[in-house]
Amino acid sequence: MENSVIRVIDLRKSFGAQKVLDGINLEVERGKITVIIGKSGGGKSVLMKHLIGLMKPDSGEIWINGVEITHLRDAELNEVRKKCGMLFQEAALFDSMNVKDNVAFPLQEHSRLSQKEIDGIVNERLREVGLLGSDDKMPAELSGGMKKRVGLARALVMDPDIILFDEPTSALDPVISLAIEDLITETQTHLKKTYVVISHDIMGMFRIADKIAMLSDGKIIATGTPYEIKRNDQEAVKEFLRATKLPGFAGGVL
């Protein structure tokens, strides 16, 4: 696909005798929200770790913005990572830093900007996630939803092309989950970034996704818009959607 910002080609990864990724092929379109769904323990997080180079595959290729990353040295890989932001499942904030310093950390480490310039960027990112004025709060003072917002601000602070989300609504109540989903769509619409989300929250993800890819038995078995996935006639897809009790879905009949 000409507009693909991420291309995964025949990606394979095993741990001992267990095949986790068994020939993954995936294209992620620039400027869209792509959601990867599948059963718990099915390899979604392993795939995500490959996309940012935290794991090396047994074989296969991963192209990020036209660069094949699986054989890059650390220094080269870090250059690619600068264009990728990551919102981890638990937000992964530094407990000893306040909100402002958590968000500023990537800029302090990887840029030569002045403190005044960094402060301006941090304030803009905090404004975008609805946390302007929370600069001095410590992570221990934040709710789960606020931590996710800080994590998103930090993921955005280097102005990356791609943002990866690992279970962005995990451990959140339904009201806060809905707010985080809305925040994902609002920031993506405003910033025009490429978002890749892995999640078990099927109802929420079908609401925000431009494209859905379903991972099953180590392979991507179906891709398409939420509507197309709901209409997919593969039994494995229908069984998964039935199990998740997706509204409007009854064995492939909508």
Contacts by 170-177 with C-beta closer than 8 Å and gap 24+? 170/89, 170/199, 170/200, 170/201, 171/144, 172/144, 172/145, 172/148, 176/143, 176/144, 176/145, 177/201, 177/204
pLDDT tens-digit map of 110-128: 888 999 999 999 999 999 9
Asked if residue 97 has pLDDT above 50, the reply is yes
Question: What pLDDT is stored for residue 254 in this prediction?
Answer: 42
Asked if residue 250 has pLDDT above 80, the reply is no
Asked if residue 208 has pLDDT above 70, the reply is yes
Token code pair at residue 165: 């989300």
The whole-angstrom separation of Cα 245 and Cα 238 is 11
**In terms of pLDDT, which residue wins out, 151 or 244?**
151
> Residue 243: which pLDDT band, with cuts at 50, 70 and 90?
confident
User: pTM for the complete prediction?
Assistant: 0.89
Least Cα distance to 33 among 175, 205, 166, 190 occurs for 205
pLDDT tens-digit map of 184-205: 999 999 999 999 999 878 888 8
Question: What pLDDT is stored for residue 1 in this prediction?
Answer: 54
The whole-angstrom separation of Cα 27 and Cα 101 is 35
Asked if residue 90 has pLDDT above 80, the reply is no
Question: What pLDDT is stored for residue 20 in this prediction?
Answer: 95
Least Cα distance to 180 among 140, 147, 227, 214 occurs for 147
Question: What pLDDT is stored for residue 87 in this prediction?
Answer: 87
pLDDT tens-digit map of 227-242: 999 999 999 888 888 8
Domains and CATH numbers, the chain: 1-83+194-254 (3.40.50.300)
pLDDT tens-digit map of 146-170: 998 999 999 999 999 999 999 888 8
Question: What pLDDT is stored for residue 210 in this prediction?
Answer: 96
Q: In whole numbers, what is the pLDDT of the chain averaged over residues?
A: 89
Asked if residue 246 has pLDDT above 70, the reply is no
Q: Are 46 and 142 in contact (CB under 8 A)?
A: no
Asked if residue 253 has pLDDT above 60, the reply is no
Q: Mean pLDDT over residues 133-156, rounded?
A: 90
Asked if residue 252 has pLDDT above 70, the reply is no
Q: Mean pLDDT over residues 45-66, rounded?
A: 93
Q: Are 102 and 110 in contact (CB under 8 A)?
A: no
